[in-house]
Amino acid sequence: KIFINHPDPWPKRRHHKKRLFNAAFLDSLAYVLKKGGEVKVATDHKEYADWIIKHFKQDNRWQALHEGYSTMVPGENHIVTYFETIKRKEGFEPIFMSFRKVL
């Protein structure tokens, strides 16, 4: 499993090219994970969560473990980061996503 907690969303459109999740990064994830391996992602930025889901859906090597995303259940072995604690105090709820490598 690979856990990615709160990657920088680079919210400005002109900065989207700097986002972690893109086709090349999914290639890297697929390279290091065996078939059946999982990627667990947490973010508190809804638009970035939609971006992440879109990229995984466009790549047939990946299957979402649940439709869309969840704000309720972080999943097993979730590590609460310092950033997550601060953002929760500010009223932001994390969004959790899980994907499995199928090819």
Tell me the average pLDDT across 24-29.
98
Global pTM value: 0.85
Instruction: Please identify which of the residues 8, 27, 44, 50 carries the catalytic annotation.
Output: 8
For the question of residue 27 being annotated catalytic, the response is no
Q: Per residue in 57-94, pLDDT tens?
A: 999 999 999 887 766 666 667 778 888 888 889 998 88
DSSP class per residue in the chain: -EEEE------SGGGGGG-S-SHHHHHHHHHHSPTT-EEEEEES-HHHHHHHHHHHHT-TTEEESSSS-BSS---TT----HHHHHHHHTTPPPEEEEEEE--
Give Dmax over CA atoms of the chain in angstroms: 40
